[in-house]
Amino acid sequence: MASQDIIARSATTTVPPSVRQQQEVAKLIDTTKCIGCKACQVACSEWNELRDEVGHNHGTYDNPQDLTAETWTLMRFTEHERDDGNLEWLIRKDGCMHCAEPGCLKACPSPGAIIKHANGIVDFNQDHCIGCGYCITGCPFNIPRISQKDHKAYKCTLCSDRVTVGLEPACVKTCPTGAIVFGSKDEMKVHAAERIVDLKSRGYDKAGLYDPDGVGGTHVMYVLHHADTPKLYAGPAGPAGDQPFGGVVEGLHQAAGAAGHGRGGIGRVLPLCAGWPPASRRGGAPHAGG
């Protein structure tokens, strides 16, 4: 995307050039339509030319077991016991949420390593990344990963290269059930509202939209059966007005922000000295399952 589309850069107070008016975009993921086929996960890998180690994970359908520098989209499966004693599968497509107020951008100490576009997409520029891991600390959703190959941070780009030329993200194009749709954020909210009305008419009284206010809203949203308890879906905590994940991660974020911006530089060194980020978040091999 052109520089006229950038509205924020990490670690800089430089005013961006005159920003062209752009409509905010969003990806809506309807967990009630997802069948867990992993087509979106494969499409992401194919389009971005990523090849992660598959491995063997016993007792789970998640494969790999976690996001890595070479897995930007991951299907997460949760077996949930309902109040009536029956089991149901809760399946969620995990990846960057593209926050309106991105914690990764605020925490990053390297100028221009993280940028936010006028359409809402948050992107990483590996040419400016110093591999400090502060984006990991700042992310309330635990998304970015540091590559063991080049020591740079990686995550879902919302296919910014495709969106720039008028195409939808690869995961959206490949979804066989229409569980992933893409368009303006306003359109996606209308689409979600219609879907929620339909779900409630069929007995899902707690159905709702996950678009957390704690990060100013996101440009990746979910329709959930159990919107009152989003943590059931192996990931986002809530309710939607709360800080996602809260507690420990938010505390780390605040500490990083205080130490890493103009306070003797110690905040930039501390995570590396302390072995941060941990191996599980550096893009290495995931722990063996079961």
pLDDT digits (tens, 9 = 90+) for 18-67: 666 679 999 999 999 999 999 999 999 999 999 998 777 778 899 999 99
Q: Find out whether 135 is annotated in a ligand binding site.
A: yes
Lowest-pLDDT range, 81-90, 118-127, 240-249, 275-284? 240-249
- Where exactly are the structural domains of the chain? 3-276
Give the lowest-confidence range in 10-19, 156-165, 280-289: 280-289
DSSP string, 37-97: --HHHHHHHHHTT--------TT---SSSS-BTTB--EEEEEEEE-TTS-EEEEEEEES--
What's the pLDDT band for 5 if we cut at 50, 70, 90? confident
Is 44 flagged in the annotation as binding? yes
CATH 3.30.70.20 fits 3-276, yes or no: yes
The pLDDT-based confidence of 16 (bands split at 50, 70, 90) is low
108 carries a ligand binding annotation:
yes
Answer whether residue 135 shows pLDDT above 80. Answer: yes
Element (H, E) at 224: strand 220-224
- pLDDT of amino acid 1: 52
Characterize 88-126 residue by residue with b for buried, 16 or more Cβ atoms within 10 angstroms of its Cβ, and e for exposed: eebbbbbbbbbbbebbbbbbbbbebbbbbbbbbbbbbbe
Residues 238, 57, 147, CA angle at the centre, nearest 5°?
Answer: 70
Residue 198 has pLDDT above 70, yes or no: yes
Averaged pLDDT, 108-135: 97
> 139 labelled as ligand-binding?
yes
pLDDT at 131 over 80: yes
Answer with the residue of higher pLDDT: 83 or 44: 44
Q: Is 40 annotated as a binding residue?
A: yes
171 known ligand binder: yes
Record the pTM: 0.81
Residue 132 marked in a binding site: yes
Give the integer Cα–Cα distance in Å for 106 and 177. Answer: 36
Task: Say which amino acid occupies 21.
Answer: Q
